[in-house]
Amino acid sequence: MILDQIGLPLSQVAALLAALRRRGETVATAESLTAGLVSAVLTEVPGASDVVRGGLVVYATDLKAELAGVDRDLLAAHGAVHPRVAEMLADGARQRCGADWGIGLTGVAGPDPQDGVPPGTVHLGFAGPGGATVHSVRLDGDRYAVRAAAVRVSLEHFAGLLR
């Protein structure tokens, strides 16, 4: 399972989906550095389709604007790795995918810096019925470790928002 590689117990993701199910709510993603991993992990749980809508993989910077509706001026002024971009990705995922919740991830997996931002810098956006928030973290390790940790932290933080 992909969950094993990410270091997330299946029971933890299943509990997150169960929390959404109890609330009658759905989720969608807009992922840059993780490029679909959050979505892949959520749907590894059988029966995920009643609460997981889908998502946007916005690897190229222009797709963050094109697919998820992130402000082009913001991207031009600050680059793709910025807390406000994560927030707008989350909101874009929610709106474009018709979900109650959106999770947006942007950051630098490495090995090289991007837009002058060092590897390990990750911004996690969450948009829900009550508005949007951002959780910014600095993650250790190589490209694979940073991506895996970004998935873990985003889902752990999201589970906290549902409690």
Binding site for its own copies (CB under 8 A): 1-2, 4-5, 29, 31, 34-40, 42-44, 46, 48-49, 52-60, 62-63, 66-67, 96-98, 110-111, 143-144, 147
Q: Which is nearer to its own copies, 29 or 154 (CB)?
A: 29
Shortest reach from residue 26's CB to its own copies, in Å = 8
Pick the closer one to its own copies by CB: 111 or 131.
111
Shortest separation between residue 115's beta carbon and its own copies, angstroms: 12
Q: Got the DSSP string for 4-72?
A: HHHT--HHHHHHHHHHHHHHT--EEEEESTTTTHHHHHHTTSTTGGGTEEEEEE--SHHHHHHTT---H
Please identify, using beta-carbon distances, which residue of 1 and 76 lies nearer to its own copies.
1
- Are 80 and 118 in contact by the 8 Å Cβ rule? The answer is no
As measured in angstroms, the least distance from the Cβ of 17 to its own copies is 12
State which residue, 39 or 87, has the beta carbon closest to its own copies: 39
Kind plus residue range of the DSSP H or E element containing 132 = strand 131-138
Q: How many CA atoms lie within 13 A of 84 on its CB side?
A: 11
Residue 43 CB, shortest distance to its own copies, in Å, is 4
